Structure 1
Amino acid sequence: MPFSLATWNINSVRLRAPIVLRLLAETAPDVLCLQECKSPVEKMPLDAFAAAGYRYAVARGQKGYNGVAILSKLPIEDVGERDFAQLGHARHVAARLENGVTVHNFYVPAGGDVPDREVNLKFGQKLDYLTEMRDWFHAEKPEKSILVGDLNIAPREDDVWNHKALLKIVSHTPVEVEHLGAAQDAGNWVDVTRKDIPEGQLYSWWSYRAKDWDAADKGRRLDHVWASPDIANAAHSSRILRAARGWEQPSDHAPVFATFDL
C-alpha cells in the first residue's frame, strides 16, 4: 500500500488552519504530522481537517505551547506518547496505520539561545530529551516505523547556510549533532530525506527575522523524516515544499514529504 507522508511545524494550528487546508488540498498527503500546534486538543480545528478528507486524527495538546497532531486520510490507531525528560510537554505522539507501520511525531525542544546547559536550562532539557530518545531506541529497536518531526537540529554541514558561522548557534552545535546522531544510531534510523537527496544545501526553516527570507536564504534543515531499516528502502520521492514558507501568514518552517511503497 503506497502512502505519502508530510511533516510540518505549523507554529499554531488554529492561526494557520487556512494554510494547512491549502496544503491538504494542493498536495494531498495521506498522512500529515504537525508540530508546535499551540492548542489543547479540543480546540484544534480537527473538524475542518475532517471535512477536507482527513477523518482520522491523534493529537496531544497544550495551551499556548508545544502540541503535536497526526492527521490521516487512512485509518490510524492511537498508540500513545512518551514524556521524554519528564518535561510534561506535549512533544510526542504515535499512531499505527492498518498496514502495521507506526508513525512517531516528535517536537524536540528548541533549546533556547545559549548552547551551555550550565547557564541555560532549556539547552540541558534538549540534550536530556535526546538522550532519553537514544535510550528508548536502544531498549526497543524500532521496526516498521517512521519517525518525523521538528527535531530542532540541522546535523550536516550542508543542512545550514553557513557551517562555520553556526557552529556556536543552537541547532547546529557539535554537542547537539552528536546527541541527535546517537539517537539515530541507537535505532538504526535512516534519514530518508538525505537518502533521496544526498548532496547539496537543503533547508526546511527560515527565520522570521529576515526581511526577505527567500533572497537571504539563511536556512536550516530542522525537520526530518526517518525510517527504520526494515522499511527504509521503500521510501522515495522526498522533497521540501519551500514555497509554503511564502504563503500568507506562514510558519517559519516548510513541509517535508516522503512516499513509502508498503
Structure 2
Amino acid sequence: MPFTIATWNINSVRLREALVQRLMAEEAPDILCLQECKSPVEKIPTEGFAELGYRHMVARGQKGYNGVAILSKLPLEEVGAHDFVDLGHARHVAARLGNGVTIHNFYVPAGGDIPDREANVKFGQKLDYVTAMRDWAHGEKPEKAILVGDLNIAPREDDVWNHKQLLKIVSHTPIEVEHLGAAQEAGAWVDVTRKDIPEGQLYSWWSYRSPDWDAADKGRRLDHIWATPDIANAGYGSRVLRAARGWEQPSDHAPVFATFDL
C-alpha cells in the first residue's frame, strides 16, 4: 500500500492550526510531520486534526519553542526520542508504522546568525547536534527508515538562490554542509527529494524579511525527506507545495512531500 508523507516547519501549530487543517483537507498526506510546534504536547489542537482523519499522534513538545509531532491517518507506535547533545530541546521523535517502517522527525537547531562557534554558541550547538545525528546513525545502522524534518541546512549549490552569496550565511556554509553530509553518509541515507528531482533550483523556505518573497524567490531548501537504501527506491512523487508559503499568515517554510510504495 502506498502512503504519502509530508514534512512542514509550521512555526507554531496553535497559531497556524487552520493552515494545518487546510493542508490535511486539500492535500491529505497519510502522515504529516511538523516541526517548531511551539506547544506542550497536551495543548496541540488534536481534535480538529482527528476530525480530518488524523487520529494518531506521537510528539515531543515545549512551551514557546521547538517541538515535533507526527500526525497520521495510519496507526503509529511510538519508538522514542533523542535529546541530542543534551540541549533539553524537543527536536526529535520517532514512530513505527504497521508495515515496520520507522519515521524519524527532526528539527535541527537553526544556528544563529554568525557562522563561528567561538563567537556564537548556537552555531556550535548546531554543528554538535548534526555530529550527534551522525554518531547515532553509525551506531544504530537504521533500516527500513524514513528521516524527515527541518534540518536547517541547504546542502547543494542549487538548494539556495545564490551559492556564492550564501557561502558565509548560516544554513549553507561549507562546514554545515560537510557535517550534514557526514550524517547522511553515516546512515547511508538517500535524499529522496533529490532522487526524484535531481536537477534545478529547489527551495522550501523563504524569509519573512522579503515582502515579495515569490517574485524575489531568494529561497533555500532546508526541509528534507531521506530514506534508508532498502526502501529509498520505493519513494517517488516528491514535491514542494510552494503555494502554502503564500497562504494567509503562513509559515516561512513550505511542506515537502514524497510517496512510498511499501
1:101-132 Cα shifts (integer Å, max 9, x gaps): 00000000000000000010000000000001
In structure 2, stretches of 5+ residues that fail to align are none
Q: In 1, Cα distance between the equivalents of 2:52 and 2:78?
A: 21
1:12 maps to which residue?
12
TM-score if structure 1 supplies the norm length?
1.00
Q: CA deviation at 1:138?
A: 0.6
Following superposition of structure 1 onto structure 2, how do residues 200-239 of structure 1 map, counting pairs within 5 Å? 200-239=200-239
Q: In 1, Cα distance between the equivalents of 2:35 and 2:200?
A: 26
1:143 maps to which residue?
143
Q: Indicate whether 1:261 and 2:261 are aligned.
A: yes
Letter in 2 for 1:10: I
Aligned residues: 262
State the SS of the aligned residue for 1:19.
helix
Q: In 2, Cα distance between the equivalents of 1:27 and 1:210?
A: 27
Q: Indicate whether 1:113 and 2:113 are aligned.
A: yes
Letter in 2 for 1:212: D
Q: CA deviation at 1:238?
A: 0.1
Q: In 2, Cα distance between the equivalents of 1:18 and 1:130?
A: 32
Q: Indicate whether 1:2 and 2:2 are aligned.
A: yes
Q: In 2, Cα distance between the equivalents of 1:156 and 1:142?
A: 24
Q: Identity percentage over the alignment?
A: 83
In structure 1, stretches of 5+ residues that fail to align are none
1:128-153 Cα shifts (integer Å, max 9, x gaps): 00001000111111100000000000
1:88 maps to which residue?
88
Q: CA deviation at 1:46?
A: 1.1
Q: In 2, Cα distance between the equivalents of 1:125 and 1:46?
A: 32
| Deviates most, 136-145 or 151-160 | 136-145
2:192 maps to which residue?
192
Q: In 2, Cα distance between the equivalents of 1:46 and 1:125?
A: 32
TM-score if structure 2 supplies the norm length?
1.00
Q: Once superposed, what is the RMSD of the aligned Cα atoms?
A: 0.4
2:35 maps to which residue?
35
State the SS of the aligned residue for 2:229.
coil
Following superposition of structure 1 onto structure 2, how do residues 137-176 of structure 1 map, counting pairs within 5 Å? 137-176=137-176
Q: In 2, Cα distance between the equivalents of 1:171 and 1:3?
A: 30
Q: In 1, Cα distance between the equivalents of 2:248 and 2:106?
A: 25
Q: In 1, Cα distance between the equivalents of 2:182 and 2:32?
A: 26
Q: In 1, Cα distance between the equivalents of 2:175 and 2:239?
A: 27
1:141-195 Cα shifts (integer Å, max 9, x gaps): 1100000000000000000000000000000000000000000000000000000
Q: CA deviation at 1:206?
A: 0.1
